[in-house]
Amino acid sequence: MNILITGVTSGIGRALTREYIENGHRVIGIARRGEILRKLKEEYQDSFDYICWDISKTSELDALIDRVGTKAERIDILINNAGMGTYGTFYERGAAEELRMIDINISSLTYLTKKYLKKMIEKNSGGVINVASTAAFQGGGPLMASYYGSKSYVLSLDEGIRGELERMPENEVKVMTLCPGPTSTDFVGMGGSNSKKFYISTPQMVAKECYKGYEDGKEIVIPGIVNKLSVFFSSCLPRRVQRKIVYNIQKKKRP
């Protein structure tokens, strides 16, 4: 199968690329860092192709889709993995970086999901995996307010789409939401000693659970028992208490 993955040059995206190729699939990777993309091509040869592109430029997404069409006539699975986070008090942060994050985490994800999902529904095969976060289940994210809001959007979007798909007779198209917790990547606040704590997942662990979860037909995948328990217990707490807990966690990441 042809797997289209955004944000493949590091972290979870790079691990997903390896996972799908090792399971016999062909990956088309999208990212901005051309040097790393070329190294991935050298490593995986015919199993990997790439497009060097900045998906934050939402006005150019149709051109990107056209480019993908030259690499593969059909995309069987779209994985919207690319994402970014910002840190700091909401009203003090500059608007430009926050809006760029929204373009990547929300606007581009929504547009690519819409365009490829329509093609998949026409052929009644294929699927979309959107990467959200355990942050999507929290009652807000002080010090990372826009990021938490963007991930809540992704989960809610996917739930709405699934509600539409399940009402279509004999539908074979799937939409899965991957919700990793803290993962040892170069994501904001995850560097240094934080990456060695017991509750931190590796990108490889997340990729393996993503692959298995999609194959098993799951709607939402939360990698790691600690993250599953965290989501469960936080749902039992008042939202005000959730916000206090999140604030105390995030303030420790202050640069």
Domains and CATH numbers, the chain: 2-253 (3.40.50.720)
Residue reference for tokens 């994501």: 187
| Greater model confidence, 208 or 192 | 208
How much is the pLDDT for 196?
56
The fraction of the chain above a pLDDT of 90, given in percent, is 83
Dihedral of CA 159/164/169/171: which sign? negative
Nearest to 106 by CA among 146, 66, 142: 146
- pLDDT of 187 strictly over 80: no
167 contacts: CB under 8 Å, gap ≥ 6: none
Q: What is the mean pLDDT of residues 97-101?
A: 95
* Spatial separation of the C-alpha atoms in residues 93 and 34, rounded to whole Å: 29
Provide the pLDDT for residue 188: 53
For residue 200, what pLDDT is reported? 85
DSSP letter (8 states) at residue 200: P
Among candidate residues 231, 217, 56, the one with its CA nearest the CA of residue 136 = 231
For the residues 193-197, what does the mean pLDDT come to? 53
The 10s digit of each residue's pLDDT in 112-148 is 999 999 999 999 999 999 999 999 999 889 999 999 9
Residue 193 has pLDDT above 50, yes or no: no
Mean of per-residue pLDDT scores for the chain: 92
> Annotated catalytic, 147?
yes
Grade residue 173 by pLDDT with cuts at 50, 70 and 90: very high
Lowest-confidence pick of 19-23, 140-144, 188-192:
188-192
Residues 203-213, mean pLDDT to the nearest whole number: 97
- Catalytic entry in 44, 50, 111, 147: 147
pTM: 0.91
Per DSSP, which regions of the chain are E strands? 2-6, 26-31, 48-52, 77-80, 127-131, 174-178, 220-221
> pLDDT at position 185, please?
73
**213 pLDDT above the threshold of 50:** yes
